[in-house]
């Protein structure tokens, strides 16, 4: 099974619109909009705000990378823009920070390069927040990675320049993109990670306008899991459906007559997928997918505008949860982090919140930690550091104790029973 977020093979892909155009910067102080040339009016918009290439074309094309860089440069006096990494082909990975406060939300936009609507929504939202057309909730830090896969966006490909699906790399951290995101999550410890994707529909059985999902991995703390599901069902769903759009749970084919689920084709508990990885790291995980094909009566620009608007509604839903349930949100993530070193519940190497783990995939008596040889530790020490995993010397090797904040993640990295382990450590009952 593969996915967009985690879309299955054969379900993708809609049509892309190509990339062209260039954004110029207009910053001459005191110049009246009425005196600007037509091109400047188009790029600034009626309210004098810089516009994305997508907005300038009314959805006929996507914003180019050059236009994005020009927009972020224009906004850099109003928001914090920093470089968190470099792609395989040398393009910058940018992080935009707006607001400062203890509650932190990270929006990761378009991990898959051929799913551009989430990126456009993020760029528009960043601009609106920068110019106070929209507001940041008090006590909140909003983080955006506006283009999570610049090489893939430039080439209009799902994977990065090496053909690797970044959304299958949040355990192994082989790609520079996933490594950069892991460092951001480690350093900022977001309360929510909102992952923006698109999917290719199947008529009648898998064709909602928007699909959403929470972390299904069984090792995610119950408070984080439940609050993540609340975010999906009680905030994302009404946010999009209040605008006349349809929505549903990601990964299920439905009966055309009854709307009841008939088959699960994606959306499992796989730990290397971002919504699950972030849950294991104590953040609410959220996958939002928009339908990438035109609805009846839509031309391609209209379909593109609907796709981008759908993501904007989803972003608004996440922000609304922060405003209305900040206490519940912070309690869930804080309790998950603080109690992790003392958890003694079973470790699950399979299954999901809707799937019983297979025989042999549950450890009812977790070890105290995992012992690594010096060679193993040398092989994985940088990745452990990016994941926020601590270790200590143990004779000629290293010991990675479970009694630390990264407890839910460590067995997924070091146990031979995990599906995507980095190395096979030796479980130890004594630390």
pLDDT per position as a tens digit, 320-360: 999 999 999 999 999 999 999 999 999 999 999 999 999 89
Q: Give the integer Cα–Cα distance in Å for 285 and 228.
A: 6
Residues of the chain with pLDDT under 50: 1-41
Q: Give the integer Cα–Cα distance in Å for 270 and 327.
A: 29
- Give the DSSP H or E segment for 86: strand 80-86
CA angle centred on 158, ends 156 and 164, rounded to 5°: 125
Helices 326-339 and 300-324, interaxial angle, to 10°? 80
| Domains of the chain (ranges, CATH numbers) | 33-334 (3.40.630.10), 366-428 (no CATH)
242-287, pLDDT tens digit by residue? 999 999 999 999 999 999 999 999 999 999 999 999 999 999 999 9
Per-residue pLDDT, 48: 76
CB-based contact 330:338 (threshold 8 Å):
no
pTM over 0.95? The answer is no
Per-residue pLDDT, 407: 99
Per-residue pLDDT, 186: 99
> Helix or strand or coil: residue 311?
helix
Per-residue pLDDT, 36: 32
Closest Cα to residue 176, out of 68, 285, 92?
Answer: 92
Per-residue pLDDT, 42: 53
Q: Where are the alpha helices (DSSP H) in 202-299?
A: 222-230, 237-241, 274-280
CA distances from 225 to 219, 284, 336 (A): 9, 7, 10
Per-residue pLDDT, 76: 87
Q: Give the integer Cα–Cα distance in Å for 126 and 132.
A: 10
Look over the chain and give the mean of its residue pLDDT values, rounded to a whole number.
91
CA distances from 221 to 16, 187, 227, 242 (A): 39, 20, 10, 31
Per-residue pLDDT, 43: 56
Per-residue pLDDT, 123: 99
Kindly state the tokens that stand for 13: 């892909």
In 103-251, which ranges are E strands? 103-109, 140-145, 192-199, 210-213, 247-249
- Give the DSSP H or E segment for 300: helix 300-324
Residues in the chain: 431
């Amino acid at each position: 099974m593969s996915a967009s977020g985690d879309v299955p093979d054969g379900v993708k892909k809609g049509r892309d619109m190509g990339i062209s155009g260039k954004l110029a910067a207009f910053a001459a102080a005191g110049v009246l909009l009425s005196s600007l040339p037509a091109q400047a009016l188009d790029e600034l918009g009626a309210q004098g705000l810089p516009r994305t290439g997508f907005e300038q074309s009314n959805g006929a094309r996507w914003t180019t990378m050059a236009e994005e860089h020009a927009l972020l440069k224009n906004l850099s006096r109003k928001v914090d823009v920093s470089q968190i990494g470099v792609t395989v082909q040398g393009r910058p990975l940018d992080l935009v920070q707006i607001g400062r406060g203890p509650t932190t939300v990270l929006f990761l936009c378009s991990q898959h390069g051929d799913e551009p609507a989430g990126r456009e929504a993020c760029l528009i939202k960043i601009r609106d927040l920068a110019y106070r057309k929209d507001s940041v909730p008090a006590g909140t830090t909003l983080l955006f990675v506006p283009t999570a896969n610049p090489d893939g966006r430039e080439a209009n490909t799902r994977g990065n320049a090496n053909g690797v699906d970044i959304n299958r790399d949040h355990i192994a951290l082989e790609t520079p993109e996933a490594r950069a995101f892991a460092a951001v999550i480690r350093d900022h410890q977001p309360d929510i990670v909102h992952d923006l994707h698109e999917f290719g529909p199947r008529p009648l059985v898998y064709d909602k306008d928007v699909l959403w999902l929470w972390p299904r991995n069984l090792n995610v703390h119950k408070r984080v899991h439940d609050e993540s599901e609340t975010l999906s069902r009680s905030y994302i769903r009404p946010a999009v459906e209040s605008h006349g759009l349809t929505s549903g749970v990601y990964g299920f084919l439905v009966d055309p007559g009854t709307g009841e689920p008939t088959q699960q084709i994606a959306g499992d508990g796989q730990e290397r997928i971002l919504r699950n990885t972030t849950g294991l790291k104590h953040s609410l995980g959220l996958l939002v997918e928009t339908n990438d094909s035109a609805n009846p009566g839509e031309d391609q620009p209209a379909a593109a505008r609907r796709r981008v608007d759908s993501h904007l509604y989803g972003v608004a839903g996440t922000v609304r949860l922060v405003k209305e349930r900040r206490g519940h949100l912070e309690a869930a993530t804080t309790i998950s982090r603080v109690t992790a070193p003392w958890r003694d519940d079973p470790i699950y190497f399979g299954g999901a919140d809707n799937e019983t783990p297979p025989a042999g995939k549950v450890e009812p008596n977790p070890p105290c930690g995992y012992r690594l040889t010096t060679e193993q530790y040398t092989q994985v020490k940088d990745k452990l550091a990016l994941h926020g995993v601590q270790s200590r010397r143990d004779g000629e090797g290293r010991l990675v104790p479970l009694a630390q904040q990264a407890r839910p993640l460590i067995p997924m990295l070091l146990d031979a029973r995990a599906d995507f382990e980095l190395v096979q450590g030796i479980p130890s009952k004594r630390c």
